[in-house]
Amino acid sequence: MALDSATTSRQITPRLLFKCLCIGGNAITAYGALTFPLISPDLSEKLQLSQRQLSTIVLAGLIGQYPFAAVAGELVDRVGTWACSAIAALAFGIGYGVFAWMVGTSVTPETPLSPLAFRIMVASYFMLGLGQVFSYFSAMFTAAKEFPLHNGLATGITLALFGLSPLFLSLPSCFFSSPTGTVDAQSYTIFIGSLATAMHFISIFGLRGSPPPLIIIDPPSTDATESSADEETPLLIKPQPEERPGYPQTWLTVVHDGYFWWIFAITGLIIGSSEMVIGNIGTVVTSLLTITQGSSQAVSNQVQLLSICNTLSRLFAGPLIDLLCPNPFHSGRSRVRMSRFGFVAFAGTLLIICYGYMGFLASSNNHTWLLSMGVGAAYGTMWTVLPGIVRLIWGEANFGRNFGMMAYAPFLGTTAWTYIFALNIERESGDGGQEARCVGARCWRTTFQVCAVAILVAVLSLSGLWKRWHATV
């Protein structure tokens, strides 16, 4: 299958260039909620917030991304990506604005923060999570639909910009220092909130307009067995909709598809376990340090290593997917060298090596670099290849909705794996109480052993998906 030649080339116009700038602008300003560690010292000092309260606020920002993923996808399909940018602008304006207002009006060291004020701050960060998911869909789906011939590259660059968003937004934090030397929470929140809201408001106009229609054509076959016909050859052949991008399906059809749940489970295992490591890498590092060793720099090094590998994997995986994998939007028959499920197998194999090493061999902090590099690379690769898998199996017409449904897999997977990690830590802490620090590889060894076995099963199960879809996905 291929596109008509009229639709295979895109002319670079000022309109398209402006749209690309809006894609990049939305991506780079979206994840301000992840800069929360910069303002948490100021919040703890001024508002007397406990660690549990600080964790609750930032957790609300993470959880807020998932409940409306399918809604965002449906909005992309029915209205357009500009509508997602509009909702993101509204959510960011309300979330950042209310949070900054609460910080400013609650700065009274003599009076503790009221329960109502704390709930409002949690709700504000939940709104930021909501804005993040709508921003994500506005940028990623615009990139995917505008550049179907280079879908992997467009998706990879966009996702890399999302990954760099916290770093980009943290750079101006040095200009918002409080008298005590910490980052002033109110002024910094107002700054990144104004930037994100303004950018997504501009993108309402920049993302309008539909990309050229995707006309999929089956080129004539050169196979003699296919070109020959006789009296018994049917003149009308019933199309196979599940292999034709663009074939519309209801959400009920997708839910009843066993392949959906198969890929859903693999996604939850790979991305969920990766996010478990990302969220708890500090605990893994500090458990291997002695009391006299400083943990701040050690944790920072692993976080940076994980972030770098995550970003680089997205930039490398995108072009490789375009080069090696099937693409029905290319003119002519392109040689298929590798299925997208091969990239999923690569990500899973990396995790098996990392989890197996941590679960059976690692015993000192010198070994955590392998975990950070492997998880970062696997995480970025999986997120880059997943949109193309969903798009090619279940169609272009409901691409956004279907990907939004698939996005619930990481949410469930992350929750499950994080709970397993926490239970193992609690069990190994013994009777030292809730605040006891768990020391040594025993704190998480069992968790990584379970992860390694689960991912191994997931990778082995990919053979069935590869047999079914290797020629088209």
User: Quick one: pLDDT at residue 213?
Assistant: 55
Question: What is the per-residue pLDDT for 3?
Answer: 41
Last residue of a domain, one of 152, 187, 206: 206
Q: What is the pLDDT of residues 70-94, one digit of tens each?
A: 899 989 988 999 999 999 999 999 9
Does residue 42 sit in helix, strand or coil? helix
For position 344, which CATH number holds?
1.20.1250.20
Top pLDDT among 395 and 312 is at 312
Q: How many domains does the chain have?
A: 2
Please give the pLDDT value at position 237. 37
- Does 398 share its domain with 331? yes
Q: Per the domain annotation, does 96 fall within a domain?
A: yes
- Strand 216-217 and strand 2-3: pairing? antiparallel
Q: Per-residue pLDDT tens for 329-348? A: 665 545 567 889 999 999 99
- Token pair 């993040």 is found at 132
User: Length of the chain, please?
Assistant: 473
Are residue 143 and residue 279 in the same domain, yes or no?
Answer: no
pLDDT digits (tens, 9 = 90+) for 218-252: 444 434 334 444 444 444 434 444 444 444 567 78
Any residues with CB less than 8 A from the CB of 60 and at least 6 apart, and which? 122, 123, 125, 126, 129
Examine residue 275 and state whether it is found in any structural domain, yes or no: yes
Residues 202-228, mean pLDDT to the nearest whole number: 59
Same domain, residue pair 261 and 177:
no
Burial class (CB in 10 A: 0-12, 13-18, 19+), 397: middle
Q: DSSP letter for 7, please.
A: G
Higher per-residue pLDDT: 382 or 221: 382
Are residues 147 and 18 part of one domain? yes
Torsion of CA 37, 43, 49, 54, to 10 degrees: -20
| Mean pLDDT within 264-284 | 89
425 and 363 within one domain:
yes
Query: What is the average pLDDT across 337-361?
Result: 93
Alpha carbons 16 and 13: distance in angstroms, whole number? 5
How many helices (H) and strands (E) are present in the chain, helices listed first? 17, 2
Tell whether 211 is covered by a domain. Answer: no
When mean pLDDT is compared across 291-295, 411-415, 454-458, the lowest value belongs to: 291-295
Cα-flanking dihedrals φ and ψ of residue 235, to 5°? -75, -30
Same structural domain, 119 and 261: no
Backbone angles phi, psi at 450, to 5 degrees: -65, -40
pLDDT for position 225: 39
Amino acid present at 430: G
* Last residue of one domain, picked from the residues 185, 206, 227: 206
List the domain range (segments joined by +) for residue 34.
14-206
Same domain, residue pair 158 and 292: no
Q: 262 and 173 in one domain?
A: no
